Amino acid sequence: MGRLKPNSFAYYRPNSVASALQCLATQPDAKILAGGQSLVPAMNFRLSRPACLIDINGIEALAHVEVCADKVVLGALVHHQQIHEHPSIRQHFPVLAEAAGEIGHLAIRNRGTLGGSLVHADPASELPAAMVALRAVMEVAGVDGTRRIPAAEFFVGWMTTALDTGEMLVSVHVPLSSSSVYGFAEFARRPGDFAYVGAFVERAANESGAVTWFGVSDKPEYRPMSALPRDAAARQAEWQQLAAKLEVLDEPRMRRKLAVVLAERAYQKVEEAKIG
Amino acid sequence: MTVRFEQSKPQFTGARVERAEDARLLTGRARYLDDLDFPGTLEVAFVRSTHAAAKLVSVHAEAASRMPGVRMVWTAADIHVTLDSPEFGVNQPVLAKDEVRYVGEPVVAIFADSRYAAEDAADTVEVTYADLPPVLHIREALQAETRRVHAERPNVMYHQEYQTDGFEEAFGNALHHLSATFTLHRQTAVPMETRGCMAAPDGATNRLHVYVSHQSPHGFRADLCKFLGVPEHAVRVIVPEVGGAFGIKAMFYPEYVVVALAALRLRRPVKWIADRSECLLADCHARDGIHDVDVAFDGDGRILALRDHLMGDSGAYPAVPFCGSIGETSLAARMLTGPYKIPHLSFTIDCTYSNKAPLGAYRGVWGPPASFVQEGVVDRVARALHKDPVAVRRINLLQPEDFPYRTASGFVYDPGSYAESLETALELVDYDGFRKRQREDRSRGVYRGIGISVFVEPTAMAASEAGDIPYEAATVRMEPTGTVTAALGLGPSGQGHETTMAQLIADELGVDVRDVVVLHGDTDSAPYGGGTGGSRSGTIGGGAALTAGRKLRDKLLALAAHLLEADVADIELKDGAAHVAGVPAQRLTVQQLATAAYTDVNRLPEGMKPGLEVMARYQPTRPITFSNGTHIAVVDVDVATGQIQTVDYVVANDCGVLINPTIVEGQIHGGVAQGIGEALLEELKYDTEGQLTTVSLSDYLLPTTHDIPNIRIRHLVTPSESKGGFKGMGEGSLIAAPAAVVAAVSDALEPFGVMVSSMPVTPDQVLEWIDADQEKKVDSVDSKVYFEN
């Protein structure tokens, strides 16, 4: 079979976060390898040429889902398919489970990791937007300790995050909310492709809401709404107004149009969820 | 008599015999080209042009030569072979010399201990280009003032005109006329196994062994020997398992010469396997044509005359041995009236060079464009007259009494089930019920459409992309144990010839299908043949298998008659034994017969030569046999997003006598999948600089299992005159499917006045059409208000 060829690289497989960080600090031009679903293709095309790969798949502490009193903590190595199937995630964040099921195909979801997707920060991927919509907090570790970054501040631009050199994402804290209901919709040419445009819509108990779009600009776009109209025409006008102000990546007409359509479809899912 | 008939009824032909190939394919035991590995094999990386049109100012590869593991580096200065196309006066250097003419053209070849080392070295090659204005569009290439892709040749590399007598009068006198332009974008086949080639000098015989993923072992050997200047007995071509070919592997490519010459020079095995980007860049491309069409018709929808200016983009060089643009246009022009009785035809063909990859064969070649035009014309006539598309088809379709039918272009169709296939497919899809439900769907804002494609497929042609070999050959040998070894010159890539040819031979020899092994793909063992392409293997190859099988059967019968002391007419060959009719006890097993033929030769009848081995060639009596059928697609169009989903699909297919219905259905399934890809997804996109922007499968969208609905198939059987009554069927499904799918989109969007005129249809196009229609409606409301004022 024809194969694509990465250039040569050093390979480390640490078994703790501390040793991974040590590796990251001492190896020049190192990259963390988790599921490898984006990094490995990029390396095979030689678009990415790291001198060193730090394979974190042996760090068991990163592979857990933990339900706490006020939040669910997802380790960076949790796979997309786990998010899609996990009973606690299905119970507390059905929209996250649903969105994770739209990532790639089963083989990709079985390998791809939450941390990898968030750190890669492809503006068309589901999980960064989901974390913004759910107001999750990223826990990031460096040799000097850990810090927490709200998702909305974590994604700073096209495939760029607030991670500093030498830092790695270890977990994501998703706050539990009993009052908000979420809906999700996306458009892709083929199921499993990166979304062309997608949206998460939230209705809070006090009739306020929010929409988080992805695939329209260089990062997830969160827009709070002081009132999420019940009236279809008013809602449509609201979506249109918000979409018109988006700084669209390319094909602005098509992307804005679909931003409106998908926000409304996500809203309809909210309605269904409430009935359900 | 009835008993006699029952006894001679074929046991395997026509049955759903399990494919002999599947066990190894499905368990990963098949050996493809890249599974072959000889000690000391060097691997090749090509540095390819990153510019569409440029003078090569300098090529610096010295640093690459010094890289670890690199054994040799070649530029045009080191290898002087060109792929010559004498009929066009254009020769392609196997490594670009002085000028590059498309992105992906090989410029430098690096031979190293591993592909990794070769790629590392390729990174260090410095090529300086001086850009020329690229020629990228057919209509631009047709202008005399446009820069020539080949300075010494005009851009129009092929021109042909044809018109039936009385065309102008018939066209002019018609009551109605319409015009339309049909555009087909570029695509390529994308076989799962990429292209590749390995050459290994054989120390024992001093010959060159060439392993290649190809459709025509003998055709490949002929081309390679021609370009290398070596005699054919000095080269053995071996085609291992092929993971899809679809026409692109019927072509000959520059890389093959480079690999073979390097192996001869270095006296070591040399291997090159294309990666997926090379597949998209440098496999031959397909389609890329424009049709400017004018139609004349009467008030009933009867089409009276059809005119087409066919324009095809050849790419930078005429592909060897089959220039795709000429194939796409010239056969499309001649098949343009399809299954319809259109008495007058006029066409002009222009094929032009461009700074894009060469165009070659892809399954169906001419067919998807011609079906798109032919069915698009019928649907446009129906819409213009406010008639149902079925009604207009019924008026124009060839009827059983019309055969043999001479088309306006001079082809003579053998009998087929044209009208019957339409009615069968309509019944399968419940057309009338669909139309009722469609009205209700539309009132709910659901846009579901139905598209019909009635196709004719010229098959088993004397000449095709598999070459100009109008016959096929088979050797059949019964071994002393009574089992059978056959060999054919075919080049299967998944079609199951090891099964179908064995079925035919087993029935002739009265042995179990599992006792017949079919060899192919090795020029040392296979008789000279044309290979696989142009839907020829079942019909011509099958005819050869039957002819050889019959010859051997005759010998077995004669031998059995002699040994059993019976009349040859009374001998029956069945279930691995010959016995005298009505006297089952008086029998000899084929093993006993074979033993006699090989080792107990004193018992042979007078004049009979020892051994049980025959070779036979078969050439069909007709230059072409035409298979036919009807495809109907149902699609849903989401008018908010432009997304199109194929939700139902039916096929009525007539390929004459079926050898193995399961295999026929597999061919149809694959062709429909590729057709949905062609209609909705697949497009090779060049930007304004001539850069190919679709160089991975995340940009070049292939259909996935989500995109393909369940396909319901019904078989019709109109036997051909060919031996066995077979007709080819390898391409009909891809010929018919794209037209059916886009017609369904047009039907779904009929309320918006949409008639699709280019493939693939994309969501953004759908949204544009709907927007444009709504603006038009707003405009017309405004003008109406103005008028009333």
Residue at which a domain ends, from A119, A154, A175: A175
Q: Which residues contact residue B397 at a Cβ distance below 8 angstroms, ignoring those fewer than 6 apart?
A: B339, B340, B341, B418, B419, B422, B454
Nearest to residue B136, comparing CAs of B679, B685, B682? B685
Q: Which one of B123, B638, B764, B768 makes the best mutation probe of the A interface by having the most chain A beta carbons within 10 Å?
A: B764
Is residue B124 in some structural domain? Answer: yes
B698, A194: Cβ pair inside 8 Å?
Answer: yes
Query: How many CB pairs below 8 Å do chains A and B form together?
Result: 66
The verdict on B564 and B593 lying in the same domain is yes
> H helices then E strands: how many in chain B?
21, 31
Q: Which residue of A lies nearest to B45 if distances are taken between CA atoms?
A: A5
B278, A2: Cβ pair inside 8 Å?
Answer: yes
Q: Is the Cβ–Cβ distance between B490 and B429 less than 8 Å?
A: no
Q: Which of B132-146, B305-319, B498-512, B530-544 has the lowest mean pLDDT?
A: B530-544
231-270 of A, contacting B, C-beta below 8 A: 251, 254, 257-258, 261-262
Is residue A14 in some structural domain? Answer: yes
Task: Note if the bond before B269 is cis, omega within 30 degrees.
Answer: no
Chain A residues whose beta carbon lies within 8 Å of the beta carbon of residue B706: 190-192
Chain A residues whose beta carbon lies within 8 Å of the beta carbon of residue B696: 45
- The residue range of the domain holding B242 is 36-132+195-273
Q: How many domains does chain A have?
A: 3
Rg (chain A; Cα; Å): 19
Element (H, E) at B748: helix B732-748
A193, B275: Cβ pair inside 8 Å?
Answer: no
Task: Tell me the one-letter amino acid at B679.
Answer: A
Q: Is the Cβ–Cβ distance between A2 and B279 less than 8 Å?
A: yes
The verdict on A163 and A206 lying in the same domain is no
Q: Which residues contact residue B744 at a Cβ distance below 8 angstroms, ignoring those fewer than 6 apart?
A: B449, B450, B451, B633, B634, B635, B646
Chain A residues whose beta carbon lies within 8 Å of the beta carbon of residue B119: 5, 7, 46
The verdict on B477 and B497 lying in the same domain is yes
Is residue A238 in some structural domain? Answer: yes
Name the band, by pLDDT with cuts 50, 70 and 90, for residue B467: low
Is residue A2 in some structural domain? Answer: no
Nearest to residue B166, comparing CAs of B297, B294, B304? B304
Name the band, by pLDDT with cuts 50, 70 and 90, for residue B1: very low
Task: Note if the bond before B321 is cis, omega within 30 degrees.
Answer: yes
User: What CATH number does the domain containing A15 carry?
Assistant: 3.30.43.10
Is residue A4 in some structural domain? Answer: no
* pLDDT above 90 for B437: yes
Is residue B775 in some structural domain? Answer: no
Is residue A267 in some structural domain? Answer: yes
Cross-chain CB nearest to B274 (options A2, A7, A262)? A2
The verdict on B170 and B236 lying in the same domain is no
Is residue B719 in some structural domain? Answer: no
Residue at which a domain ends, from B594, B618, B642: B618
Chain B residues whose beta carbon lies within 8 Å of the beta carbon of residue A254: 763-764, 767
- State whether residue A145 sits within 8 Å of chain B by CB: no
Is residue B625 in some structural domain? Answer: no
Q: How far away is chain B from the Cα of A261, in angstroms, using its nearest Cα? A: 7
The verdict on B487 and B568 lying in the same domain is yes
Q: Which residue of B lies nearest to A262 if distances are taken between CA atoms?
A: B641
The region that residue B494 occupies, defined by phi over 0 for left and psi between -120 and 50 for alpha, beta otherwise, is left
Cross-chain CB nearest to A4 (options B34, B120, B276)? B276
Is residue B220 in some structural domain? Answer: yes
pTM of the model: 0.95
Give the pLDDT confidence score for residue A274 in this predicted structure: 73
Q: Which one of A3, A5, A258 makes the best mutation probe of the B interface by having the most chain B beta carbons within 10 Å?
A: A5
Give the pLDDT confidence score for residue A275 in this predicted structure: 64
The verdict on A170 and A134 lying in the same domain is yes
Q: How far away is chain B from the Cα of A53, in angstroms, using its nearest Cα? A: 17
The verdict on B607 and B535 lying in the same domain is yes
Q: How far away is chain A from the Cα of B214, in angstroms, using its nearest Cα? A: 15
Residue at which a domain ends, from A145, A160, A175: A175
User: What CATH number does the domain containing B496 carry?
Assistant: 3.30.365.10
Is residue B776 in some structural domain? Answer: no
Residue at which a domain ends, from B589, B618, B647: B618
The verdict on A211 and A247 lying in the same domain is yes
- The chain-wide mean pLDDT, for chain B, equals 95
The verdict on B514 and B607 lying in the same domain is yes
Cross-chain CB nearest to A2 (options B276, B698, B707)? B276
Chain A residues whose beta carbon lies within 8 Å of the beta carbon of residue B195: 2
pLDDT tens digit string along B386-398? 999 999 999 999 9
Is residue A5 in some structural domain? Answer: no
pLDDT tens digit string along B243-262? 999 999 999 999 999 999 99
* pLDDT above 50 for B2: no
The verdict on A171 and A201 lying in the same domain is no
User: What CATH number does the domain containing A159 carry?
Assistant: 3.30.465.10
The verdict on B119 and B218 lying in the same domain is yes
The verdict on B256 and B107 lying in the same domain is yes
Nearest to residue A56, comparing CAs of A104, A22, A101, A105? A22
Is residue B514 in some structural domain? Answer: yes
Chain B residues whose beta carbon lies within 8 Å of the beta carbon of residue A261: 640-641
B707, A2: Cβ pair inside 8 Å?
Answer: no
pLDDT (mean) for B272-289: 97
Chain A residues whose beta carbon lies within 8 Å of the beta carbon of residue B641: 187, 258, 261-262
- The residue range of the domain holding A26 is 10-55
B34, A7: Cβ pair inside 8 Å?
Answer: no
Distance CA B764, CA B777 (A): 20
Cross-chain CB nearest to B707 (options A46, A190, A258)? A190
Distance CA B372, CA B385 (A): 20
The verdict on A66 and A51 lying in the same domain is no
The verdict on A74 and A154 lying in the same domain is yes
Q: Which residues contact residue B152 at a Cβ distance below 8 angstroms, ignoring those fewer than 6 apart?
A: B89
Q: How many domains does chain B have?
A: 3
Low-confidence ranges of chain A (pLDDT < 50): 1-3
The verdict on A131 and A237 lying in the same domain is no
Q: Which residue of B lies nearest to A38 if distances are taken between CA atoms?
A: B698
Q: How far away is chain A from the Cα of B285, in angstroms, using its nearest Cα? A: 18
User: What CATH number does the domain containing A248 carry?
Assistant: 3.30.390.50
pLDDT (mean) for B326-352: 98
B279, A2: Cβ pair inside 8 Å?
Answer: yes
pLDDT tens digit string along B70-99? 999 999 999 999 999 999 999 999 999 999
The verdict on A14 and A79 lying in the same domain is no
Q: Provide the b/e sequence for B417-438 (b: ≥16 CB within 10 Å).
A: bbbbbbbbbbebbebeebeeeb
A8, B116: Cβ pair inside 8 Å?
Answer: yes
Q: How far away is chain B from the Cα of A141, in angstroms, using its nearest Cα? A: 33
Residue at which a domain ends, from B385, B415, B436: B385
The verdict on A87 and A113 lying in the same domain is yes
The verdict on A153 and A247 lying in the same domain is no
The verdict on B158 and B201 lying in the same domain is no
The verdict on A50 and A65 lying in the same domain is no
Q: How far away is chain A from the Cα of B116, in angstroms, using its nearest Cα? A: 6
pLDDT tens digit string along A183-240? 999 999 998 899 999 999 999 988 999 999 999 999 999 999 999 999 999 999 999 9
User: What CATH number does the domain containing B204 carry?
Assistant: 3.90.1170.50
The verdict on B475 and B356 lying in the same domain is no
B34, A2: Cβ pair inside 8 Å?
Answer: yes
- State whether residue A275 sits within 8 Å of chain B by CB: no
User: How far does Cα B110 stand from its chain's mean position?
Assistant: 32
Interface confidence: ipTM more than 0.90 = yes
A2, B194: Cβ pair inside 8 Å?
Answer: yes
The verdict on A129 and A31 lying in the same domain is no
Is residue A255 in some structural domain? Answer: yes
Is residue A39 in some structural domain? Answer: yes
